[in-house]
Amino acid sequence: MSSFAGKNIVIGVSGSIAAFKVAGWVSALAKAEANVTVIMTEAAQRFVTPLTFAALSGNRVHGQMFAPDAGEEMPHICLAREADAILVAPASAQTLARLAHGLTDDLLATVVLAAQAPVLVCPAMNSQMYNHPATRANLKTLRGYGYHVVEPASGALACGEQGQGRLAEWEAVWPCLLRLLTPQDLAGKKVVVTAGPTREAIDPARFLSNRSSGKMGYALAEEAMLRGGEVVLVSGPTALAAPAGVRLKPVVSALEMYEAVLAEAADADVVIKAAAVADYRPAEFFADKVKKEKIDLSLKLCANPDILLELGRRKRRGQILVGFAAETGNLEAAGRKKLAAKNLDLIAANNVKADNTGFAADTNQLLLLSADGGSELLPLASKSALAAMLLDRVAAFLA
C-alpha cells in the first residue's frame, strides 16, 4: 500500500501568512509515521515560530546555513541526502525566484539545489504577484527542472483581495506528495475502475439497488493514481469523494455505466470492474410515483447488459481485464466460471455474506484467480492494502 510511513520528508516553509496551515500538514505526516524535517526561511519565522514545527514533527527545525550549534555538520548536504521528497510550502514569490535561479543565499534554496529527491512546490501569495510574468516564468522554469507544482486555489486572500494565490488544501497536496514516493509502475497507463452500486429506477421516488458502498473500487482508483496511472473512475452513487487526481464519471443506472465504461475502455490498458451492477431493472419506469393503493405487488424485470461480458468480447491485445465476483459460497468454482465466461485475465472473488468482507466493510479478503490457472488467497486486510496487492499483480501482467 502506498504510504508515508518511514519516509524522510523535508518541508521547506517560506514567508507567507499561509505558513500556519503547513503546521497541520506536518502533524498529519507525523501521524502517518513519516519522518518530517522542517526548514524555515527567515521570513517564515516571522509568521510561525520554529517551536511549533519542532513540536509537531518531533525533529529539530533548521533555519540557518551556518548555525552556531551545527558543529562539523553541513546541514544543507545532510538534509539534501536524507530526503525522500522535498515539499516547499508555502512557496513565496521570493523562494520561487531563488529556486528558479539556483541561488544559494538561504538554507532552503541550497538544500533543494543539492538534493536529488523529487520536489513538490505549493505557491501562496497575493494574486498580482502570482500572475506577474516574473513569477509565471519562474514556475515554468521549475517545471522544466522536473519539479512538481500544486497550483494555489482562488478565493479571498489574506491581503483582502480576491484571486488565485491561496495555498492549496492538504487534500489536494498529499496525493501529489505520496505519488512522488510511490513506484510509478502504472505510469503512462490508462486504468478504468468501476465502483459502487447502480440504481434501477421504478418511479421518481423508488429504485432497486444493492449494498455496495464504493470503498473497494475507490481504493483501487486511488492506488492506481498513486502508482502513476491515468485513472478514470466510473462510479454509481456513493457517499465517497473521488480521490484527487482521478477523473470521476458519475453514473446512476447499469445502462449509464455500460455506456460510460465501454467508451472509456476502448483505449484503456487496464479495466477493473469492482462495481456491483444490478443484473435486472424494472421493465417499466413509471413517470409518476406509483400510489400505494395502486401498487401491483409483482414487479416485472428485464435483464441489464453484462458490461464485463461485453468488455471481454471487445478485449484488445495487451489489455488487462479484471473482474470481481461477489459470492456467498464456493468462491473458487464461481470465480473460475466467471473468469472463463467473461474472458478475464484476473478475477477477485470475495465473500459478501461475512461482516468484515464484501459490501460496505472497511476490510476485505480476496481470492485471486488468473486465466493461467493461478490461485492466491490474499489475507484479510484493509481495502487499500488489498487494492495495492491486486495492482501489484496487474503491474506484473503489464510488465
Cβ proximity of 43 and 94 under 8 Å = yes
Indicate which single residue of 266, 341, 360, 377 sits in contact with ligand PMT (rule: CB under 6 A).
360
| Nearest alpha carbon to residue 86 among 6, 145, 17, 147 | 147
Do residues 233 and 164 make contact, with C-beta atoms less than 8 angstroms apart? no
Note the helical H segments in 105-157.
107-114, 127-131, 133-144
The verdict on 242 binding ligand PMT (CB under 6 A) reads no
Q: Which is nearer to ligand PMT, 109 or 367 (CB)?
A: 367
Site map 7..26 versus ligand PMT, x via CB under 6 A: --------------------
- Rounded least distance, CB 29 to ligand PMT, Å: 27
**Binding range to ligand PMT, per CB under 6 A, among 76-84, 151-159, 289-297, 299-307:** 299-307
Integer-rounded Cα Rg, in Å, for the chain is 25
Which CB sits closer to ligand PMT, 200 or 269?
Answer: 200
The three-class DSSP label of residue 396 is helix
By CB under 6 A, what part of segment 314-333 binds ligand PMT? 323-326
In whole angstroms, how close is the CB of 358 to ligand PMT at the nearest point? 4
**Is 159 known to be catalytic?**
yes
Shorter beta-carbon distance to ligand PMT: residue 229 or 323: 323
Q: What is the smallest separation between the CB atom of 43 and ligand PMT, expressed in angstroms?
A: 47
- Cα–Cα distance, 274 to 322 (Å, whole number): 9
Residue 308 makes contact with ligand PMT by CB under 6 A: yes
Residue 123: in which H helix or E strand, if any? strand 119-123
Is 41 or 304 the residue whose CB approaches ligand PMT more closely? 304
Q: How far is the CB of 17 from ligand PMT (least distance, A)?
A: 41
Please tell me whether residue 385 binds ligand PMT under the rule CB under 6 A. no
Q: Which residues contact 175 (CB under 8 A, 6 or more apart)?
A: 222, 225, 226, 243, 244, 245
Judged by CB under 6 A, the number of residues near ligand PMT is: 27
Q: 3-state DSSP call for residue 145? A: coil
Residues 78, 122, 159, 302: which is the catalytic one? 159
Q: How far is the CB of 269 from ligand PMT (least distance, A)?
A: 18
Q: Is 123 in the site for ligand PMT (CB under 6 A)?
A: no
Residue from 250, 249, 191, 201 nearest 221 by CA: 191
Q: 271: closest CA among 190, 365, 188?
A: 190
CA–CA separation, 224 vs 179, rounded Å?
Answer: 10
CA-based diameter of the chain, in Å?
Answer: 88
d(CA 262, CA 271): 10
Q: Between 254-265 and 307-314, two packed helices, what is the crossing angle to 10 degrees?
A: 20
Q: Which residues pair with 189 in a beta bridge?
A: none
Q: How far is the CB of 311 from ligand PMT (least distance, A)?
A: 7
Piece of the chain touching ligand PMT by CB under 6 A; list 12-20, 150-158, 304-312, 367-375: 304-312
AA letter at 183 = P
Q: Give the whole-angstrom CA distance, residue 46 versus residue 25.
A: 19
* Per-residue x/- track, 250-289, ligand PMT (CB under 6 A): ----x------------------xxxxx-x----------
Residue with smaller CB distance to ligand PMT, 152 or 243: 243
Residues 216-235 that bind ligand PMT (CB under 6 A): 216-217
**Burial level of 275, CB count in 10 A (0-12/13-18/19+)?**
buried
Q: Which stretch binds ligand PMT (CB under 6 A): 59-67, 155-163, 215-223, 313-321?
A: 215-223
Does 304 engage in binding with ligand PMT (CB under 6 A)? yes
Among 15, 165, 175, 214, binds ligand PMT (CB under 6 A): 214
CB–CB of 9/37 below 8 Å? yes
Residue with smaller CB distance to ligand PMT, 84 or 310: 310
CB of 308 to ligand PMT, least distance (A): 3
Smallest distance, ligand PMT to C-beta of residue 377, A = 15
Distance of CA 241 to the CA centre of its chain: 11
Which residues of this protein are in contact with ligand PMT, per CB under 6 A?
A: 212-217, 254, 273-277, 279, 304, 306-308, 323-326, 338, 350, 352, 358-360
- Which sequence positions are flagged as catalytic? 159
